[in-house]
């Protein structure tokens, strides 16, 4: 029997990230509609999950935990202690994946039992469109099959790196929170276009496509971004004039500060 025929994924918490992952995995074909369900105390979250994925969502976490062989803990870090206490009796024999920012494997294992098979993952929402960037770190009891399964699921919706756990907060700060940083940049570039006379709809597509194209150039040519930047900045030209304005505005420092601030916040969330 194929892996996807036996895989029963249960999302505990059916909010934005659970919905995005479920949609991405269903679209990839690795998870079947009949092999996915969710639980959430919030009726509106359950309704959205079902409307977006076609999969059932119920209020009872234990019902979903009992019926699944892969549990995805997809609640906010602040809600995690209560969830762990509730599902603890139901995790035996199941692979448990946590996507919560800041919550460590040690905290998960202390709450669920030291023999629990755990993998900590930090995905991002572009998994909805097959373009996520994730990092993951397996716990001591995760088997080679568990790790291969999670690696396949994450790579089916983007790219994923296996990393030492201490780096997952930095992944949270860079790629977990990063889409919001880039949305802000796209919005600002579009504002610049509108200020210079472009219609808003044209400006936003030009800005987003420019970010997409530049990202593809970095990923597909494997050329250092600084080299690619130099290649488009001719002496005395338009691009170097724009780059000078960006440097005067401290954009590099601001982006580095953003990743640092988000990383520090992830660490704080794990400590609270």
Ligand X SMILES: NC(=O)c1ccc[n+]([C@@H]2O[C@H](COP(=O)([O-])OP(=O)(O)OC[C@H]3O[C@@H](n4cnc5c(N)ncnc54)[C@H](OP(=O)(O)O)[C@@H]3O)[C@@H](O)[C@H]2O)c1
Interface residue list for ligand X (CB under 6 A): 12-13, 15-18, 39-42, 45, 61, 74-77, 79, 82-83, 99-101, 122-125, 176
Select 37 or 61, whichever has its Cβ closest to ligand X. 61
Distance of CA 132 to the CA centre of its chain: 6
User: How far is 96 from 72, CA to CA, in rounded Å?
Assistant: 6
Q: Is 85 left (phi over 0), alpha (psi -120 to 50) or beta?
A: alpha
Using CB atoms within 10 A of its CB, is residue 211 exposed (0-12), middle (13-18) or buried (19+)? middle
3-state secondary structure of 136: strand
Distance of CA 264 to the CA centre of its chain: 17
> CB of residue 269 vs ligand X: minimum separation in angstroms?
7
User: How far is 270 from 169, CA to CA, in rounded Å?
Assistant: 9
Distant-in-sequence, close-in-space partners of 149: CB < 8 Å, separation ≥ 6: 3, 7, 70, 95
> CB of residue 118 vs ligand X: minimum separation in angstroms?
15
Select 32 or 76, whichever has its Cβ closest to ligand X. 76
Reported as half-sphere exposure (CB side, CA atoms, 13 A), residue 105 has a value of 22
> CB of residue 193 vs ligand X: minimum separation in angstroms?
27
User: How far is 158 from 240, CA to CA, in rounded Å?
Assistant: 33
Q: Name the residue whose CB lies closest to ligand X.
A: 15
> CB of residue 197 vs ligand X: minimum separation in angstroms?
34
> CB of residue 23 vs ligand X: minimum separation in angstroms?
12
> CB of residue 17 vs ligand X: minimum separation in angstroms?
3
Select 14 or 190, whichever has its Cβ closest to ligand X. 14
Select 31 or 154, whichever has its Cβ closest to ligand X. 154
Select 15 or 158, whichever has its Cβ closest to ligand X. 15
Select 41 or 89, whichever has its Cβ closest to ligand X. 41
């Amino acid at each position: 029997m194929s892996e996807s025929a036996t895989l029963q994924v249960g999302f505990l918490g059916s909010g934005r990230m659970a919905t995005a992952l479920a949609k991405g995995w269903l679209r990839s074909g690795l998870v079947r509609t009949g092999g996915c369900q969710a639980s959430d105390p919030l009726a509106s979250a359950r309704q959205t999950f079902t409307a977006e994925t076609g999969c059932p969502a119920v209020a009872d976490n234990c019902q979903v935990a009992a019926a699944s062989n892969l549990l995805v803990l997809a609640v906010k870090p602040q809600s995690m202690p209560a969830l762990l206490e509730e599902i603890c009796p139901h995790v035996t024999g199941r692979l448990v994946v946590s996507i919560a920012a800041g919550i460590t494997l040690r905290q998960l294992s202390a709450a669920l039992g030291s023999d629990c098979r755990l993998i900590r993952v930090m995905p991002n929402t572009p998994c909805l469109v097959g373009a996520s960037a994730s990092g993951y770190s397996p716990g001591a009891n995760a088997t080679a099959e568990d790790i291969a399964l999670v690696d396949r699921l994450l790579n089916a919706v983007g790219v994923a790196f296996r990393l030492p756990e201490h780096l997952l907060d930095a992944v949270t700060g860079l790629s977990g929170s990063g889409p919001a940083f880039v949305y802000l940049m796209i919005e600002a570039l579009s504002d610049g276009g509108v200020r210079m006379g472009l219609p808003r709809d044209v400006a936003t597509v030009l800005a987003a496509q420019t970010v997409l194209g530049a990202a593809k150039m970095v990923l597909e040519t494997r050329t250092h971004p600084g080299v690619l930047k130099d290649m488009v900045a001719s002496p005395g030209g338009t691009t170097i004039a724009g780059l000078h304005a960006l440097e005067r505005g401290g954009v590099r420092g601001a982006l580095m500060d953003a990743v640092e601030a988000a990383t520090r916040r992830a660490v704080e969330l794990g400590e609270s």
